Structures are given as C-alpha cells and as structure tokens.
Amino acid sequence: MILDEIIRRTERRVARLPDSFPEHGMSPQLILTDAIQNRNGRNAIIAEIKCASPSRGIIRRNVDIPMMAGVLEQGGCAALSVLTEPYFFGGTVLDIGRVKSAVNLPVLRKDFIIDERQIAESRALGADAVLLIAAILKDRLPDFVDTAIGTGLEPLVEVHTADEADVALATKAAIIGINNRNLATLGIDRSTTRILSERIRQEGRLVVSESGMRSADDVREMKPYCDAFLIGSSIMSHEHPRKKLEEFVCA
C-alpha cells in the first residue's frame, strides 16, 4: 500500500531530525480559524501548493514557490497549505519559509507527522498550523494535538471515517478536516464529507472538506456541509491557477 511506503520514507526523514529546534526568530502566528471564519461571504479555500502526488504523478513542473504563493494570495484564498513531503509530493521543508516570506496568510504544513519532533520543526520553520492524520496517529492523536497547541500551532486533524471523527472530537482540535480520499485505495468519494460533517459541527468544530473538488459546481454542492475547502491538484494543474482558485472562492 502506498501509505505504508510513504510512512517508511517518513521514518527515515524523522530519524535525521535533531531532538530540539531553536525558538529565536520565530514569526508571529497567523490564526487559521480566524481566516476561515472571516470571509465576508466568499468561500474559505485553503489553497495547496503541491507539485506531485501518488495518484496523479507530476502535477506542475518547475514551480517558483514564492511566486505561486503570491498568485494564490491574489486569487483570494484564506490560507495556504504547503506540502513538504519530498519523495511522493515533490515538496521540501524549505518551502514553508519561502511561502511565509512571500505572503501574509496562515500557512498549514501538510506532511505525514509521525513524531513530535516534526511539530517542533514545523513551528521553527514558520508554519502557523500543522496537519495531523488520525489514520496514522491513531491513539497517539490526543498527545500530538496537545503538543501542537502547546507549541503554538493550530492542529488540523484529518479524518476519513466515523471512528476517526470520534477520536478527533475527543481532542482539543478546533478544526477537523474530512478527507474524501481513502488513503488505502486513493479513491475519492465526496459523500464522506456529507456523512461526517453534521456530527463534527454539532460539537462546535470547524469542518474542512479535503480532496475531490474539481469545479465550482463541486464547491457549491458541498458548501452546506463544511466551513472551508482544502484544494490542491485542481488549482496547481490548471494553466491559470489564480483563475481556477477564483472560481472556487466565488462559487
């Protein structure tokens, strides 16, 4: 399974991390929850900068990361997600700083977080929020959420099943992402958001619908069920990323 290989590669990366990271020079945090909620009628889109994926291969070649961040900020996104996994998604941890230097938006570090040192690393890199995947962390999720909050990062907890949603709701995470993609099969079913969102919203958490948004019609269909969307491939693969993002923002 591709996820197993991603985790094996991640373990090798984590093995090279230091035990601590310097805290000096850290940038003030921008608040993702505020960015999602204060949209003045526009859709809250977390636009994702990613150059490749296991399901699509190369999505966009020779990306100027700061320039792309600026283009997406101009397109009206609420925040930016930056994929830092190098082997399958073509990212690097250096992209966090490149994006932060180019825009004034909350930046979510999206990677496969399996070790608490990666949370400290994310803060040192300048991220404002960090993705925590319930399917990977399982019963360690509450501790990782607490560590992220204690480090000054907003955790966005990703779930795909009702059981994972229950685990996420038992944590202090204010934002829960519902991934419409099954990480085992890589198949997408947008009804996952419809099925899981009500329970999560009843608990007062913000819902982010992740994966599977290809058109403005998709966003219009799903917006009653969530507070924000995380969209990457459809934007990054488009000839004019800003134009595509604007369609989602205004849908």
Instruction: Identify the active-site residue in 197, 209, 211, 233.
Output: 211
Rounded Cα distance between 110 and 96, Å, is 10
pLDDT band at 210 (very low <50, low <70, confident <90, very high): very high
pLDDT score for 24: 53
From CA 225, how far away is CA 19, in angstroms rounded? 41
pLDDT surpasses 60 at 10: yes
Report whether pLDDT(28) > 70.
Answer: no
pLDDT at 183: 86
Identify whether 85 is a catalytic site residue.
no
- Could you report the per-residue pLDDT of 33-68, keeping only the tens digit for each? 999 999 989 999 999 999 999 888 899 999 999 999
**Domain ranges across the chain:** 2-9+32-250
Confidence (pLDDT) at 236: 96
Please, what is the Cα angle at 98 between 84 and 238, to 5 degrees? 70
Instruction: Please say if the pLDDT value at position 224 is more than 80.
Output: yes
* Catalytic annotation, pick one of 73, 81, 85, 110: 110
Fold of 2-9+32-250: TIM Barrel (3.20.20)
- Binned at pLDDT 50, 70 and 90, residue 2 comes out as confident
Catalytic residue among 50, 81, 233, 234: 50
Q: Is 211 a catalytic residue?
A: yes
Q: Could you read off the pLDDT of 103-138 as tens digits, one per residue?
A: 999 999 999 999 999 999 999 999 999 999 999 999
Residue 228: band (very low, low, confident or very high) from pLDDT cuts 50, 70, 90: very high
DSSP letters of the chain?
-HHHHHHHHHHHHHHTS-S----TTPPPPP-HHHHHH--TTS--EEEEE-SEETTTEE-SSS--HHHHHHHHHHTT-SEEEEE--HHHH---THHHHHHHTT--S-EEEES---SHHHHHHHHHHT-SEEEEEHHHHGGGHHHHHHHHHHHT-EEEEEE-SHHHHHHHHTS--SEEEEE-B-TTT--B-THHHHHHHHHHHHTT-EEEEES---SHHHHHHHGGG-SEEEE-HHHHTSSSHHHHHHHHHH-
What mean pLDDT comes out for the span 213-220?
97
Kindly name the residue from 73, 85, 210, 246 that is annotated as catalytic: 210
pLDDT of residue 55: 84
- Active-site residue, selected from the candidate residues 85, 154, 158, 246: 158
For the ranges 25-29, 160-164, 183-187, the lowest mean pLDDT is seen at: 25-29
Which one is predicted more confidently, 22 or 165?
165
Q: Mean pLDDT, the chain, as a whole number? A: 95
pLDDT at 54: 87
Q: How is residue 193 written in tokens?
A: 């958001």
pLDDT tens readout for residues 170-197: 999 999 999 999 988 888 999 999 999 9
Question: Are 228 and 37 in contact, with CB atoms under 8 Å apart?
Answer: no
Q: Is 110 a catalytic residue?
A: yes
> Is 210 a known active-site residue?
yes
23 a catalytic residue? no
pTM confidence score: 0.96
Answer yes or no: 138 catalytic. Answer: no
Q: Which listed residue (53, 81, 179, 234) is catalytic?
A: 179
